[in-house]
């Protein structure tokens, strides 16, 4: 008789039993996860009326693969735009809920006499709600259209991310034992943030770009092979760096999610995820020991009560703290009162690390099963509980809640500062991470490698040169004027003098980062000291900050990154927008006229010396004088007495310009309120044909004369008699693009001009 490997026998038994149980559970309208757990119990070692799995090691390995694919699929469903769109409500609610349930779980475990690590992992397990169970309950109760369900799904998105981070921290604490110090924990968090940012930036730049490039070369077969290969490769890398395999799988899934064919990949990977996921949940059921459940009946009851009551209190309180109404908060809190699949994954992590007791796994499974059945009843009880609570609350408490949830504490000033600091922090975090990664790679990999092949000082010179070249585009972005958001920086600068000092601190922080990076190159790598090092740093800073080529290289990199990050969302938005709707920049751009006063300080100055574009981001579209009309004036054009200036820019850019006009006493007086480009073009049609402004879209193909050149070098103002007002790259749009932006093939360029522009474009066969 031919020998059949044990794993095939076991797999056949697992899948056959799982198939039968899931069909039965589908018939009685229960979650399939429970069917898998029952199948695991039936085929496990604690059920003697059925053949038992013999090769537990292989099943355990398959279940680990199941966790990898579950997290990979979770990453494929994830979207960075979705994370951005959930708003502060989901972040605040999740922070309160997870923080509260971590404390509840830890203290419950301590009261039950469990050790420190059991209690810590218990807190992590109790803090995670079940997406699968909640979605099913909402569908069964036909609640998906309710307002509160959007908040619940937002909380679940943040919970998934928090769960990944929690697994990394729990694994760190488990490996370091219970004696881990606060400093070690902070270093672990910093290390995690460093690698997350690095993987996010490099992955977002490379992975979607690769799938775009190879789209025509890959069929369904190669798409699956490449995607799973990237997933497992990231798992190996994350594991070698000391992180969990789940983290690597989730990160690669979230990066592939931004690829143009992400939906197809998700569809192709789904059956594989379902297969290995089923094995994982079956392995969960195999851990269930009825003897332990009977022995631990009291702890199970205590944890079920703690889970439901704790989730009701902290989830409701978190949503309420975010500013939502009491009604919405109660419905959200009652919807999140269960634990599920992520709790099993955390329990599996603890078991694989050997840091939690064996009895904890079946207890968590029992708590999950019970709270799964109670979830629909909790959701249905939300409205009666809310009505009862309204009757019990004193009128003063209800008035306070109405005031708290009905107002916002952010005024315009605080919101401007919040937006500026958020953008500044995110950009600097990315820049510092990239610069640190380059420095570490140079010192610990490139320098030793070159040191073995070249003699000193050539190895150091070559390492320093390579490091300087790679760092330069990033340093050019760090040294760009203001704090990374010119409009907000200028708006706050001109709003009041009290803003000057904190804004200068932000600029100083950028200079400090750039100086530290250059110090590493000249001092650490080249071993320069004292005066020579300082002079080298100053000269390098001047060279980098004044280089248009470096700025164009950085903008090329940044635009590719932003296209990859936003393209999928923008494409969906475009597909959902009627084809006859207005052009995207019709409302983004505004125009306004300014009269030049007789004593204006700018009379006799060139537009280049005034620096309206460099300082405020807006362009002078037209100069109107008593004896002249200058369309799209160049930088050498002189402002004359009696001129009227027509400026074009975004709403925020024109607000900043107006504030600067008042504070700097430029002698300009606004004629009227700004009007949108759409309104301006409608009014413009009343003019004579030769005086009308025209807006055109020009596709840059491989034969275009401006392909590969920057906006500044192309000099379209003089060559084509037009002003560039917008650019589309893929589905990503840029308003008033930077002069250093380099044109790429298939860019769509939006320009403004008059009949002269049209004649030029037709003559040169651009149109």
Distance CA 6, CA 11 (A): 9
Judge whether 202 lies within some domain: yes
Judge whether 722 lies within some domain: no
Comparing 432 with 37, the larger pLDDT belongs to: 432
User: Cα 334–339–342 angle (5° rounding)?
Assistant: 135
Distance CA 495, CA 544 (A): 30
Please choose, from the candidates 616, 685, 679, 620, the residue with its C-alpha nearest in 3D space to the C-alpha of residue 647. 620
- Kindly report the CATH number assigned to the domain that includes residue 665: 3.30.70.1450
Q: Are residues 517 and 590 in the same domain?
A: no
Q: Are residues 24 and 76 in the same domain?
A: yes
Judge whether 491 lies within some domain: yes
Q: Are residues 614 and 670 in the same domain?
A: yes
Q: Is 162 helix (H, G, I), strand (E, B) or coil?
A: helix
- Kindly report the CATH number assigned to the domain that includes residue 112: 1.20.1530.20
* pLDDT, position 310: 94
pLDDT in tens, 458-488: 899 999 999 999 999 999 999 876 555 666 7
Q: Are residues 168 and 120 in the same domain?
A: yes
Q: Are residues 542 and 652 in the same domain?
A: no
Question: For residue 528, is pLDDT > 60?
Answer: yes
Distance CA 311, CA 36 (A): 26
* pLDDT, position 180: 61
User: For residue 522, how many C-alpha atoms fall within 13 Å in the half-sphere facing its CB?
Assistant: 20
Q: Are residues 528 and 644 in the same domain?
A: no
Judge whether 182 lies within some domain: yes
pLDDT in tens, 154-192: 888 888 888 888 888 888 777 665 556 677 777 878 888
Q: Taking residues 678-688, what's their average pLDDT?
A: 76
Q: Are residues 418 and 377 in the same domain?
A: no
Rounded to 5 degrees, φ, ψ at 728 are: -115, 125
Single residue among 334, 360, 382 that ends a domain in this structure: 382
Judge whether 430 lies within some domain: yes
Q: Are residues 367 and 418 in the same domain?
A: no
User: Which of 41-45, 115-119, 686-690 has the least mean pLDDT?
Assistant: 686-690
Judge whether 67 lies within some domain: yes
Q: Are residues 23 and 66 in the same domain?
A: yes
Distance CA 41, CA 284 (A): 8
Residue with tokens 């198939």: 19
Give the pLDDT band (50/70/90) at residue 354. confident
Torsion angle defined by CA atoms of residues 458, 459, 461 and 463, in that order, rounded to the nearest 10 degrees: 160
Taking CA atoms, 597 is separated from 49, 667, 668, 671, in Å, by: 97, 5, 6, 12
Single residue among 528, 546, 564 that ends a domain in this structure: 546
Domain containing residue 609: 584-677
**Per the structure, how many domains does the chain have?**
3
Q: Are residues 286 and 434 in the same domain?
A: no
Question: For residue 415, is pLDDT > 80?
Answer: no
Q: Are residues 664 and 518 in the same domain?
A: no
Judge whether 738 lies within some domain: no
Taking CA atoms, 235 is separated from 72, 87, 189, in Å, by: 10, 30, 19
The pLDDT > 70 percentage for the chain reads 91
Please choose, from the candidates 739, 534, 543, the residue with its C-alpha nearest in 3D space to the C-alpha of residue 634. 739
Distance CA 678, CA 682 (A): 6
What does pLDDT average to over the chain? 84
Single residue among 677, 708, 723 that ends a domain in this structure: 677
Judge whether 593 lies within some domain: yes
The 3-state secondary structure of 724-760, one letter per residue: EEEEEECCEEEECCCCCCECCCCCEEEEEECHHHHHH
Cβ burial 333-342 (10 Å sphere, 16+ → b, else e): bbbbbbbbbb
142 backbone φψ class: left, alpha, beta (φ>0; ψ -120 to 50): left
Residue partners of 474: CB distance under 8 A and separation at least 6 = 431, 434, 435, 438, 554
Cβ atoms of residues 43 and 51 within 8 Å: yes
- pTM given for the model: 0.78
Both structure tokens of 138? 């909402």
Q: Are residues 417 and 376 in the same domain?
A: no
Distance CA 364, CA 65 (A): 21
Residues constituting the chain: 767
């Amino acid at each position: 008789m031919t020998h059949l490997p044990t794993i095939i026998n076991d797999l056949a038994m697992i899948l056959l039993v799982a198939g039968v149980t899931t069909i039965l559970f589908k018939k009685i309208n229960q979650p399939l996860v429970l069917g898998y757990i029952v199948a695991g119990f039936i085929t496990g070692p604690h059920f003697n009326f059925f053949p038992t799995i013999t090769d537990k090691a292989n099943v355990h390995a398959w279940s680990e693969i199941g966790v990898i694919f579950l997290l990979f699929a979770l990453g494929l469903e994830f979207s960075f735009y979705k994370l951005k769109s959930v708003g502060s409500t989901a972040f605040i609610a999740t922070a309160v809920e997870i923080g509260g349930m971590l404390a509840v779980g830890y203290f419950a475990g301590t009261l039950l006499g469990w050790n420190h690590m059991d209690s810590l992992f218990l807190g992590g397990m109790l803090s995670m709600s079940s997406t699968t169970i909640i979605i099913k309950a909402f569908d069964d109760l036909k609640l998906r259209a309710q307002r509160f369900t959007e908040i619940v799904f937002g909380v679940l998105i943040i919970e998934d991310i928090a769960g990944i981070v929690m697994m990394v921290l729990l694994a760190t604490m488990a490996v370091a034992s219970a004696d881990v110090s606060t400093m070690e924990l902070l270093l672990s968090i910093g290390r995690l943030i460093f690698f997350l940012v690095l993987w996010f930036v490099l992955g977002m730049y490379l992975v979607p770009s690769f799938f775009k490039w190879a789209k025509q070369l890959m069929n369904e077969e190669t798409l699956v092979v490449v995607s799973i290969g990237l997933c497992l490769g990231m798992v190996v890398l994350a594991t070698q760096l000391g992180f969990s395999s789940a983290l690597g799988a989730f990160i690669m899934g979230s990066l592939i999610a931004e690829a143009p064919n992400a939906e197809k990949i998700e569809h192709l990977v789904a059956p594989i995820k379902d297969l290995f996921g089923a094995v994982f949940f079956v392995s969960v059921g195999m851990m269930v020991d009825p003897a332990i459940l009977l022995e631990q009946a009291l702890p199970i009851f205590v944890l079920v009560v703690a889970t439901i009551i704790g989730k009701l209190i902290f989830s409701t309180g978190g949503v309420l703290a975010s500013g939502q109404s009491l009604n919405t908060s109660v419905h959200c809190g009652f919807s999140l009162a269960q634990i599920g699949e992520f709790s099993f994954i955390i329990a599996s992590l603890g078991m694989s690390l050997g840091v939690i007791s064996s009895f904890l796994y079946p207890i968590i499974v029992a708590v999950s099963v019970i709270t799964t059945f109670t979830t629909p009843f909790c959701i249905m009880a939300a409205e009666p509980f809310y009505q009862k609570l309204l009757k019990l609350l004193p009128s003063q408490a209800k008035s306070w809640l109405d005031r708290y949830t009905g107002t916002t504490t952010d005024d315009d000033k605080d919101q401007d500062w919040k937006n500026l600091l958020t953008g500044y922090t995110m950009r600097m975090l990315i820049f510092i991470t990239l610069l640190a990664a380059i420095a570490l790679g140079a010192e610990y990999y490139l320098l030793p490698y070159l040191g073995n092949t070249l003699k000193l000082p050539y190895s150091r010179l070559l390492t320093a040169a390579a490091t300087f070249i790679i760092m330069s585009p990033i340093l050019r972005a760090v040294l760009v004027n203001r704090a990374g958001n010119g409009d907000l920086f200028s708006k706050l600068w001109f709003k009041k003098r009290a803003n000057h000092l904190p804004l200068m601190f932000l600029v100083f922080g950028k200079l400090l980062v750039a100086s530290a990076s250059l110090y590493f190159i000249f001092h650490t790598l080249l071993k320069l000291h004292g005066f020579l090092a300082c002079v080298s740093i100053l000269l390098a800073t001047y060279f980098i900050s004044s280089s248009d080529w470096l700025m164009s290289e950085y903008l090329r990199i940044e635009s590719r990154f932003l296209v990859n990050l936003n393209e999928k969302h923008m494409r969906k938005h475009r597909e959902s927008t009627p084809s006859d709707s207005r052009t995207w920049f019709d409302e983004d751009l505004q125009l306004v006229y300014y009269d030049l006063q007789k004593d204006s300080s700018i009379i006799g100055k060139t537009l280049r010396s005034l620096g309206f574009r460099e300082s405020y981001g807006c362009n002078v579209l037209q100069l109107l004088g008593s004896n002249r009309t200058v369309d799209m004036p160049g930088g050498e054009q002189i402002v004359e007495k009696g001129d009227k200036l027509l400026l074009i820019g975004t709403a925020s850019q024109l607000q900043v310009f107006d504030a600067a006009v008042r504070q700097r006493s430029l002698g300009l007086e606004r004629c009227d309120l700004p009007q949108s480009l759409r309104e301006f073009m409608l009014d413009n049609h009343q003019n004579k044909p030769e005086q009308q402004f025209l807006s055109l879209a020009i596709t840059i193909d491989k034969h275009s004369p401006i392909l590969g050149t920057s906006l500044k070098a192309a000099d379209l103002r003089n060559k084509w008699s037009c002003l560039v007002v917008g650019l589309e790259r893929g589905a990503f749009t840029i308003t008033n693009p930077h002069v250093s932006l380099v044109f790429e093939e298939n860019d769509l360029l939006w320009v403004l001009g008059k009949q002269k522009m049209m004649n030029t474009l037709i003559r040169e066969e651009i149109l």
